Amino acid sequence: MNVLVKILAHKLFALTVLVGVGIWFLVIPAFTGRLGANPLEALLHESGEIAIWTLGAVLALSPLRVLFPNSRVVAALNRHRRAIGVTACIYGLLHFSFHVLYEGGWDGLVRSLSKPFIWFGAAGLTILVILATTSNQWSIRALGGKNWKLLHRLAYVAAGLLIYHQAIAGKGHWAITRWLLFPLAALQLARFAKTFSQKKRQDLSRRINKRTLVEMSSATASASRR
């Protein structure tokens, strides 16, 4: 277990997985001719899928940390949140460049911009770019921790936009929507449920503490009066 946690927490592990996914699904198929009859479309779709799953992974990490505060595996994976988030943005940018190439030039690109599913994709990717460029210590200091955190909550907005982008892009491909949206939503709900009940319990114990304090103080007061 210790070894596993050590491996999972290592930077090299994160780098290997995040780059490895691209090598496995994009580079190797491209160089072995396994992209099929419409290779650029395959790269376009694969890069988009990698980007959205990577974003899904990073969004799953913070609720997991709340839900399993004692899990060392979750803690180890949480160390890589910044790297995973930036990687999602890089695959998103790759996806966008494949889109430009697929449309084959300026005219096609401009024409594609008339369609809502492209707006959602572009808006989501813009957010990811902003978040990736502010994913460094300097930005956190410059913005202040509170503002920075607020800004990076936009990741959830990006996820919503991009899942919708993906859902309406094709002809009846709901699989990713199902397998990404529902588990992520379930994790968030569970996180909120837990923090809510924890807060309630804290409030309750605080109130009880207060009451006992008041009772104690009145008791001592009456005792001293006597």
Partner 1 sequence: MRKVEVGRPWEIPSCAVTPEAHYLRRREFLRLFGYGIAGTALLPATMRAASAGFPDSVNPSFKLEGVKLTSEDSITSYNNFYEWGFAKDQPQELSNKGWKTDPWALEIGGLCASPRKIGINELIKLVGGIERRNYRHRCVEAWSMVIPWDGFPLAKLIDLAQPNPEAKYVKFTSFLDPEQCPGQRSNDLPWPYTEGLTLREAMNELAFLATGLYGKPLRNQNGAPIRLVVPWKYGFKSAKSLVKIDFVSDRPKTTWNELAPNEYGFYANVNPNVDHPRWSQASERVIGGGFFSGKQPTLIFNGYEKQVAHLYAGMDLRKDF
Residues binding partner 1 (CB under 8 A): 36-41, 101-105, 108, 111-112, 114-117, 168-175
Can you spell out the DSSP letters for 59-104? Answer: HHHHHHHHH-TT-HHHHHHHTTHHHHHHHHHHHHHHHHHHHHHHHT
Residues 200, 208 contacting (CB under 8 angstroms): no
In the bound complex, what is the minimum distance in angstroms from residue 117's beta carbon to partner 1? 6
Q: Read off φ and ψ for residue 35, nearest 5 degrees.
A: -95, -5
In the bound complex, what is the minimum distance in angstroms from residue 196's beta carbon to partner 1? 36
Task: Provide the CA 12 distance to its chain's centre, in angstroms.
Answer: 20
**Residue 128, both tokens:** 């990811």
Cα(78)–Cα(203) distance, integer angstroms: 28
In the bound complex, what is the minimum distance in angstroms from residue 124's beta carbon to partner 1? 16
In the bound complex, what is the minimum distance in angstroms from residue 180's beta carbon to partner 1? 16
